[in-house]
């Protein structure tokens, strides 16, 4: 059994915890599945359990800050819960389905676009005509195949950055058809009539699989459902940073994760957009990635420069708090 530090127990028992953190679960069934919250700043002690029991299994997960809801799926069942720290109360929405049938449903990732109000995912089905990117009605689980993809493609992680209006994904497939470049971290557009897949990075040396992806604070968190750590890729500098340790007690074969980005422009990841975020922004203002005062979190629109648009996004969201 995992032993908790006093700090983690106190944090788990003392009500809401700060937002801007990574939530992750895997797909193992025994011992009891657990959904974990990890403080990416490393200041909140050990990972905190949010939910235990069979409903905590996940291979895909995402967060909608407008409704403060987590969505996750074990591959077929779709669940949601309002985020309120430890003691999540899950609701079964239903099964992900095509026209009422779960035949050929094998979801491997989940993401949410607040602009369209739709969930999206990758259906890693062994049925070729159902394998690819799907949109999913968050109220019903009804799915529509948006783009069929080949068997040697598997976007096991998808994450949407609402400020930059960008999708990111991790692909475990080795194929190079359909504009792909094998396994790795991508920025992609699978919704427009002409899809684009831009590979940002290979996986760290020796790694051939990543189970899910969360994006926030200028970083891509590449989560594994096994005991392997979470790889952290800085989207501004294009370099890997120190791994986060795995929260999992027992290894699964898949996993799901979400970044709790409750406030836009929360640069210091403390759950509010306030004076210190403005201080961070002004300290980095005018910087590009090679400069000493560069801060990847402050490049909110992800255009490679910290400028007026980034400051404007911060000012528009100033005062946000959860």
Contact residues for Ca ion (CB under 5 A)?
Answer: 266, 268, 270, 272, 277, 299, 301, 303, 305, 310
Q: From the CB of 296, what's the least distance to Ca ion, in Å?
A: 10
Q: d(Cα 46, Cα 36) in Å, to the nearest integer?
A: 10
Q: From the CB of 126, what's the least distance to Ca ion, in Å?
A: 42
The number of beta carbons lying within 10 Å of the beta carbon of residue 34 is 22
Q: d(Cα 127, Cα 132) in Å, to the nearest integer?
A: 10
Q: From the CB of 302, what's the least distance to Ca ion, in Å?
A: 7
Query: Contact 133/118 with Cβ under 8 angstroms?
Result: no
Question: 44 or 270: whose CB is closer to Ca ion?
Answer: 270
Q: Which tokens in the block code for residue 132?
A: 């690819």
Question: 164 or 191: whose CB is closer to Ca ion?
Answer: 164
In a 3-state reduction of DSSP, which class is residue 309?
helix
* Strand pairing report for 184-189 and 219-223: unpaired
* Strand pairing report for 143-148 and 132-136: antiparallel
DSSP assigned state of 321: B
Place of tokens 């940073």: 241
Question: 137 or 301: whose CB is closer to Ca ion?
Answer: 301
Q: d(Cα 210, Cα 155) in Å, to the nearest integer?
A: 9
The number of beta carbons lying within 10 Å of the beta carbon of residue 139 is 12
The number of beta carbons lying within 10 Å of the beta carbon of residue 3 is 6
Question: 141 or 271: whose CB is closer to Ca ion?
Answer: 271
Strands (E), 99-149: 107-113, 118-123, 132-136, 143-148
Question: 24 or 314: whose CB is closer to Ca ion?
Answer: 314
Question: 258 or 272: whose CB is closer to Ca ion?
Answer: 272
Q: From the CB of 214, what's the least distance to Ca ion, in Å?
A: 18
Chain centroid to CA 235: 14
Q: From the CB of 288, what's the least distance to Ca ion, in Å?
A: 9
Q: From the CB of 62, what's the least distance to Ca ion, in Å?
A: 22
Question: 211 or 299: whose CB is closer to Ca ion?
Answer: 299
Tell me the chain's radius of gyration from C-alpha atoms.
19
Q: From the CB of 164, what's the least distance to Ca ion, in Å?
A: 9
């Amino acid at each position: 059994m995992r032993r908790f530090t006093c700090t983690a127990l106190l944090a788990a028992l003392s009500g809401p915890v700060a937002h801007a953190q990574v939530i992750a679960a895997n797909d193992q069934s025994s011992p009891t599945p657990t959904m974990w919250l990890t403080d990416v700043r490393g200041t909140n002690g050990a990972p905190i359990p949010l939910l235990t029991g069979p409903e905590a299994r996940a291979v895909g997960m995402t967060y909608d800050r407008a409704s403060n809801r987590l969505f996750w799926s074990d591959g077929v069942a779709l669940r949601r819960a309002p985020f309120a720290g430890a003691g999540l109360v899950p609701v079964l929405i239903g099964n992900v389905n095509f026209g009422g049938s779960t035949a050929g449903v094998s979801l491997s990732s989940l993401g949410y676009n607040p602009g369209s109000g739709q969930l999206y995912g990758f259906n890693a089905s062994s049925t070729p005509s159902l394998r690819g990117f799907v949109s999913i009605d968050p109220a019903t689980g009804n799915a529509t195949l948006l783009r069929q993809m080949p068997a040697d493609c598997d976007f096991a992680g998808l994450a949407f950055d609402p400020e930059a209006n960008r999708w990111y994904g991790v692909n475990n497939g080795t194929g190079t058809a359909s504009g792909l470049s094998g396994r790795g971290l991508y920025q992609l557009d699978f919704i427009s009539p002409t899809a684009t897949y831009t590979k940002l990075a290979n996986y760290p040396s020796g790694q051939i699989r990543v189970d899910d992806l969360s994006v926030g604070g200028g970083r891509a968190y590449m989560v594994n459902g096994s005991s392997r750590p979470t790889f952290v890729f800085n989207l501004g500098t294009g370099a890997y940073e120190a791994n986060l340790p795995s929260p999992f007690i027992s290894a699964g074969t898949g996993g799901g994760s979400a970044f709790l980005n409750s406030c836009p422009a929360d640069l210091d990841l403390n759950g509010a957009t306030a004076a210190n975020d403005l201080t961070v922004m002004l300290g980095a203002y005018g910087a590009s990635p090679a400069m000493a005062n560069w801060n990847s979190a402050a490049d909110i629109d992800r255009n490679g420069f910290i400028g007026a648009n980034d400051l404007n996004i911060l000012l528009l969201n100033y005062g946000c708090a959860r």
